[in-house]
Structure 1
Amino acid sequence: MHEFLARHEAELIEQLVGWIRLRSVAGLPERAPDLLRSAHWLAGALRAVGFPVVDIWKVEGAPAVYAEWCAAPGAPTVLVYSHHDVRAAKDDEWEETPPFEPAVRDGYVFGRGASDAKGQIIAHLWGVRAHLHATGREAPAVNLKFLVEGEEETGSGHLADLLAEHRDRLGADLVVFSDTLMWRADHPAVCTSIRGLVSARLEVRGPLRDVHSGAVSGPAPNPVLALARLIGDLHDKQGRVTLPGFYDNVTGPSERRRAELAALPFTEEDWLARSETRSANGEAGFTVLEQLWARPAAEVLSLLAGDPVGAARGAIPSAATAGFSIRTVAGQRATDVAEQLRRWVEANLGDHVDYELSIPEKMTGDAYESPEDHPAVLALAAAMEDGFGRPAGRMGNAGGGPAELLARTLDAPLVFFGTGLPEDRWHDSDERVSVAMLVNGAATLAHFWDRLSRSR
């Protein structure tokens, strides 16, 4: 596998570089043509690998790409899920290269989408190629289907409808979810869980308009102060989220899970260097890895009020807004947490200000855990050892995604495989992907299809 991939490494990189150049930014109407071009690019790449059926499914948000290669009667059918849309990027904040002018240096490909998630799809394409080369087969040893959507970065708003509309074509025995991170390049680990997500926007309103502070300062309601007090009460002194009922259905990591996470190589110094987070605190009584992958969390991602740029007007602002991101774990329901947030805001904000709390349904989703010791999990762990040259540990994914929706709608177990790393700077400037990770990831997938076909 590795010999074949090493011979074609330059071609792999060239493909990824060409795809990154397409500005398939999610959520911007002016980028709709680029999203369509990105979908056509991927469709062509899948056909070049050998997929006999490749379609572009037009979706209101952005096109999705579907492909299938089902020529292995009696073998498992696997649906690979990922996405080809990317986050917006500001050219002047990138130092290595402009975000859509990819650069290759020091073993990395730099550019928006290099790791999240175009690089992961490229690994899949070359994994199929390597699998066919190594086995001498004319078709994969398992029946493969791909669903690569175009609006994951904006919450997969139309994915549920897409799954329902094409349910008859998407049937599978297993789902492989490829929009995740791996722990370290030198220590592979099978991801077996992903957290859920509840996103919310809170606007607090004070005066009916921005008012000169010298005229009303003192008695006037200040929405910034009201919002700041509320945010300050989001966690207690132990780092626990204060929403009433938030932990009622959280069982905490099992002893087995704690042992799996403790077995991963971890030092705080290494974590801070790779994550660039300055310090580590959070919920008392749990390690950093347990907090990341086995405990829920609540964050404030944006805060806006007054005159954040330019000359200050000396006015009490009429409104202040904050964006919340709540990560849930198994046992919690996103709908329940959303209701807990509503009740908490109503009870704690006070009646001297008005407010509007919006929780878009498309920006909520439940956590998912792969079935313990499922044959596919064991096959993936063995394939990772083949691909990376050392035994694979166990880990989780701190972010969210439509894993639970896919598993529930398709009535199939789901496993995770990604080639990203915490230091790849997802959603930030100078996003990058390790070429070695792509190659080892492709080798892993090549072995996985063979092992999975024999795990029945």
Structure 2
Amino acid sequence: MHDTAAAPGCRPSVTAYLEDTTGELLEQLTGWLRLRSVSAEEEHFPDLLRSANWLAGTLRDTGFPVAEVWTTDGAPAVYAEWCAAPGAPTVLVYSHHDVRAAKDADWEQTPPFEPALRDGRLYGRGASDAKGQVLCHVWALRAHLAATGRNAPAVNLKMLVEGEEEANSTHLEALLEDNRERLAADLVVLSDTMLWAADAPAVCTGVRGMLGAQLQVLGPLRDIHAGAVSGPAPNPAVELSRLLAQLHDDDGRVTLPGFYDSVQEPSERERAALAALPFTEQGWVERTHTRSIGGEAGYSVPERLYLRPAVEVMSLIAGDPVGASRAAIPSVATADLSIRTVPGQTVAQAAEQLRRWVAERISDRVDYELTVSEADGQEPYTTPAGLPALAALREAMEEGFGMPVGQMRGAGSAPAELMSRVLDIPVLFFGTGLPEDNWHDSDESVHVATLLNGAASMAHYWPRLAALGTADLSQEGAA
């Protein structure tokens, strides 16, 4: 944390406030992490409801006059508002309180829902993705009020924290449409993203889109003893493997027909910004546990992550994956695919390209079923480059982290395009995650110093945003 301005009178600076209350922040986050708010498992719906009520109560305790739990056809969301700054911009902060499933046996530092603080990291499912990011905003607001002596934020603040982000935000569009008037704002700050590194923060200016699909290859009409039919029988595991091996050519390019035709090329300025990020192959492999580096030839690792599309195999199953083998040729083999898109591409285009690719390449000795989850797909989004609000965020981050701030995009996806389209406002990104936080994996954790630097950044952001005023907030200037 860094604070350049001296505190007026006896009020604490943003830095001093956050340092003095770090223990309270971690205690609150620890309590919230104990709730198993797993959206993908129906048996944890009571935990999702408890999680939503926990957050609503915390926001009321912080000072929000309105903090409600909104029900949906799926998991509950939390809405809060503190609008006591007439004439100032209105900001809607978005994040989520649901978490991914976790297997206790896979965690080495602590069971996933029994948080533990070790070596500057708080371990627990949701610590970074994204309960820590939500509480980062709560503490940023508290620090902002303490340092300025205000009894309300300098901007009008609204928060929407959904409970289904880890389950593809299935009911978010309906929630936005049904509550468009209450969610009206000048700007969205979406907090479900990562930074480049703890000692090299970077402002995030966009996210990739996402499309999921499942491919089932059907061979024999039932599992058949290999000793009876091995050789002439079609093997769906072999056919699926052959097919997946064709997803990329020798240069690492995706082979779906027309996949790159509509990809928008980034500006030289953005490529230069990514090139300026501190990067070494060894450091990247160590931080991400990825063993080696591959991908599309002709692009750097940051460019492959943020500017180029990708297709990945997320799961692959056939035969007897657990237990004793039956020595049978399987009747079905299944793969789950994830397509990451970039500006210029659309979910509908990628879905049709995948369908054509499978139909053209699969053997006529098998049958198949391809399910493409277009309804749950997310489009890519980039923040307009010349927004004064974006420049103000960069300045606030430099003050909060006490160092120069680079520029990046997010390699993952988020409902940014959906929110921008439904609410008709621009979206900015601010997150405190790091690649080494192990999102969706065992031993997820949050780097406490980075979380505090993030809170300091947002505490410095609200006065800067208020100074812009609503007239200049979303006008595009020079890139």
Contact kept? 2:351, 2:374, Cα under 8 Å: no
Contact 1:156 1:362 in 2 (8 A): no
Separation in structure 2 between the aligned mates of residue 73 and residue 245 of structure 1, nearest angstrom: 50
CA distance, structure 2, for counterparts of residue 447 and residue 201 of structure 1: 45
Of 412, 420, 427 in structure 1, the residue corresponding to residue 440 of structure 2 is: 427
Aligned to 1:185: 198
Of the candidates 333, 336, 339, which is equivalent to residue 323 of structure 1?
336
Matched, 1:437 2:450: yes
CA distance in 2 between partners of 1:216 and 1:446 (Å):
69
Deviation at 1:252, TM superposition (A): 2.6
* Kept after mapping to 1: 8 A contact 2:94/2:161: yes
CA drift at 1:221:
1.1
Provide structure 1 residue ranges, at least 5 long, that are not aligned to the other structure.
none
Q: Is residue 273 of structure 1 aligned with residue 286 of structure 2?
A: yes
Q: Residue type of the partner of 2:57?
A: G
Work out which of the residue numbers 295, 305, 308 in structure 2 matches 1:282.
Answer: 295
Whether 2:109 is the aligned partner of 1:96: answer yes
What SS does structure 2 have at the residue aligned with 1:455? helix
1:363: how far off?
2.9
Question: Among 188, 207, 210, which residue is 1:197 paired with?
Answer: 210
C-alpha distance in 2, partners of 1:359/1:54?
37
Match of 1:235 in 2: 248
Answer yes or no: is 1:57 the counterpart of 2:57. no
Q: CA deviation at 1:346?
A: 1.0
State the partner residue of 1:207: 220
Aligned counterpart for 2:310 among listed residues 268, 278, 297: 297
| Equivalent residue number for residue 4 of structure 1 | 17
8 Å Cα contact 2:93/2:159 also seen in 1? yes
Match for residue 307 of structure 1? 320
- Structure 1 window deviating more from structure 2 (33-42 vs 373-382): it is 373-382
Distance 2:394 2:403 in 1: 10
The 3 A distance-change label for structure 1 pair 362 and 115 is: farther
State the AA in 2 paired with 1:10: G
Matched residue of 2:468: which SS?
A: coil
| TM-score, length-scaled by structure 2 | 0.94
Residues 397-451 of structure 1: CA distance to partner in whole angstroms, max 9, x if unpaired?
0001111101111100110000110000000000000110111110000000111
Shift of 1:373: 2.4
Shift of 1:53: 0.7
Question: Does structure 1 conserve the Cα–Cα contact (< 8 Å) formed by 2:209 and 2:341?
Answer: yes
1:99-154 CA-to-partner distances (Å, cap 9, x unmatched) read 00000111110000000000000100000101111111111011100000000001
Give unpaired runs (5+ residues) of structure 2: 1-13, 470-479
Q: Alignment partner for residue 250 of structure 1, among 245, 248, 263?
A: 263
Q: Which amino acid aligns with 2:350?
A: V
1:218 equivalent among 225, 231, 246: 231
Task: Kindly indicate whether the alpha-carbon contact (under 8 Å) linking 1:253 and 1:290 is maintained by their aligned counterparts in 2.
Answer: no
Alignment-mate amino acid for residue 141 of structure 1: A
> Displacement of 1:311 after TM fit?
1.2
Rounded to whole Å, the distance in 2 between the matches of 1:283 and 1:277 is 16
Q: Deviations over 1:47-73 (max 9, x none)?
A: 011000111110121000000011111
Of residues 174, 194, 201, the one that matches 1:161 is 174
> Which residue identity lines up with residue 288 of structure 1 in the other structure?
V
Partner deviation per Cα, 1:82-113 (whole Å, 9 max, x = no partner)? 00000000000000000000001111100000
Q: CA deviation at 1:309?
A: 1.6
Residue 142 of structure 2 corresponds to 129
Counterpart CA distance in 1 for 2:375 and 2:52 is: 22
Residues 139-197 of structure 1: per-residue CA shift (max 9 Å, x gap): 10111000000000010000000001111111111000000000011111100010000
State the AA in 1 paired with 2:383: S
Q: What one-letter code is carried by the residue in structure 1 that aligns with 2:54?
A: W
Matches within 5 A, 1:140-179: 140-179=153-192
Structure 2: how far apart are the matches of 1:121 and 1:337?
A: 32
Matched, 1:81 2:94: yes
Q: What is the alpha-carbon distance in structure 2 between the residues aligned to residue 373 and residue 384 of structure 1?
A: 17
Give the Cα–Cα distance (whole angstroms) in 2 for the partners of residues 335 and 131 of structure 1. Answer: 43
Match of 1:17 in 2: 30
C-alpha displacement of 1:253:
2.4
Find out whether 1:117 has 2:133 as its counterpart: no
Find the partner of 2:391 among 378, 381, 387. 378
Corresponding residue to 1:260 among 273, 281, 284 = 273
- Alpha-carbon distance in 2 for matches of 1:353, 1:410: 46
3-state SS in 2 of match to 1:281:
coil
1:108 to 116, 121, 131: 121
For residues 73 and 348 of structure 1, the distance between their equivalents in structure 2, rounded to whole angstroms, comes to: 61
Paired residue type of 2:363: G
Distance 1:201 1:166 in 2: 33
C-alpha separation between the residues in 1 aligned to 2:428 and 2:181? 21
| Matched residue SS, 1:219 | coil
Q: Is the 8 A contact 1:155 1:362 kept in 2?
A: no
Which residues in structure 2 correspond to 1:327-346 (within 5 Å)?
327-346=340-359
